Amino acid sequence: MSEYINVTVPDGIFRAYVARPASLPAPAIVVVQEIFGINADLRATCDELAAAGFIAVSPDLFWRIEPGVDLNSWTPEEWAKGFELYGKFDFDEGVRDVLATLALARSLPGANGKAGVTGFCLGGLMTFLAAARGSVDAAVEYYGGGTDKYLHEANTITAPLLIHLAGDDEYIPKAAQAQIAQTLADHKNVTIETYPGCNHAFARHTGAHYDAAAAKLANGRTLEHFKKYLR
């Protein structure tokens, strides 16, 4: 079962997509978008998490700029729009929105009180920052662009964090990946998995660089992580 709900923050109200499992109570997972909004691909991810026994909640990060963004065709025009929205996006406000969604997710009917966060690209960075700045029970970051610029916040991350990196990521160069690995090497709550030969967004179902084998492996690890720490 899926629907949209409202999330209220000090400066307004935004929508979030919710997919619920067949059996409750269940833990919640906030699923954070790429630059394409709560599109069909992201909704499919939420539905998959719900089928695995989680309440999946995906907030509309771009609501202050343009509510309801839903880009799916991967045309040059849609890519340009996505990057335009990204350029206008306030990361700090976005993290606060993710944490507000997380707080609401914990209190939804049928929620067991535990909540994690996961996200892709932009959402991957939001996941890292939400874990650094808020109370998160578990987190999984998929190829979070710009993570290397926020590694100074890593010491405040206490939740179990799993990071998926694409070996040939065109947006996260090998030098940045090495910096992430080196900085987090002594953080026993952090696990980094790298997928050799994969490009950015290898887990996006409909993306040009989708790698079915790598996505299956990464998503399986994600489910194991959340089952271990949220149940």
Active site residues: 169, 200
d(CA 78, CA 210): 18
As given in the structure block, the two tokens for residue 73 are: 């065709």
CA-angle at 157, arms to 61 and 194, nearest 5°: 80
Beta bridge mates, 9: 12
d(CA 54, CA 65): 30
CA quadruple 169, 173, 175, 179: dihedral sign: negative
d(CA 11, CA 13): 7
d(CA 19, CA 96): 22
User: Which one-letter DSSP state was computed for residue 54?
Assistant: -
Q: 141 CB contacts (<8 Å, ≥6 apart)?
A: 118, 119, 124, 125, 127, 128, 147, 161, 162, 163, 164
What amino acid is encoded at 68 in this protein? G
